[in-house]
Structures are given as C-alpha cells and as structure tokens.
C-alpha cells in the first residue's frame, strides 16, 4: 500500500508511524520518504486500520 502522509516532517515521524504499525502487525514492513511524505506499507492490516494507527499518533494520512 502506498500512502501519503502530509504531516511527515522527518525520519523520526516515519519511525513513530512504523512503530505504531508494527505494534499492531509484527510482520509489517514500512518504508518511508520524508521528502515526498510517502510511505510504502506491506501489512495484513486493512487500509482503514493503518489510517487509524497513523491518526492515533498525531499524523494525518492523505486520502
């Protein structure tokens, strides 16, 4: 899944999002780019659940 997260400001933001997703799905893999503000997420979680997790730590996923 490719997801835009406009509130990503740095690699620390990507690390925080990664931790939240991996906590819910230990097998998940997340790669992010702070410059493009995009994440590539490989997970068994639904897209809605991933968005909820990102929102729960204070970020706003794109549509």
63 belongs to a structural domain: no
Residue 35 domain-assigned? Answer: yes
Closest CA to 29 of 51, 45, 10, 49: 45
Domain that holds residue 38: 2-56
Q: What is the CATH number of the domain that holds 27?
A: 3.30.70.100
Give the confidence band of 56 by pLDDT, cuts at 50, 70, 90: very high
β 38-42/29-33 pair status:
antiparallel
Question: Using one digit for the tens of pLDDT, what is the confidence trace for 12-26?
Answer: 999 999 999 999 999
Give the gyration radius of the chain's Cα atoms.
Answer: 10
Say how many domains are in the chain.
Answer: 1
- Domain contains 42: yes
Predicted confidence at residue 51, as pLDDT, reads 97
45 found inside a domain: yes
């Amino acid at each position: 899944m490719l997801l835009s997260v406009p509130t990503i400001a740095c690699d620390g933001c990507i690390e925080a999002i990664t931790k939240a997703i991996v906590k819910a799905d230990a097998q998940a893999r997340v790669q992010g780019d702070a410059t493009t503000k995009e994440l590539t997420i490989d997970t068994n979680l639904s897209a809605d659940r991933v968005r909820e997790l990102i929102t729960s730590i204070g970020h706003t996923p794109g549509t």
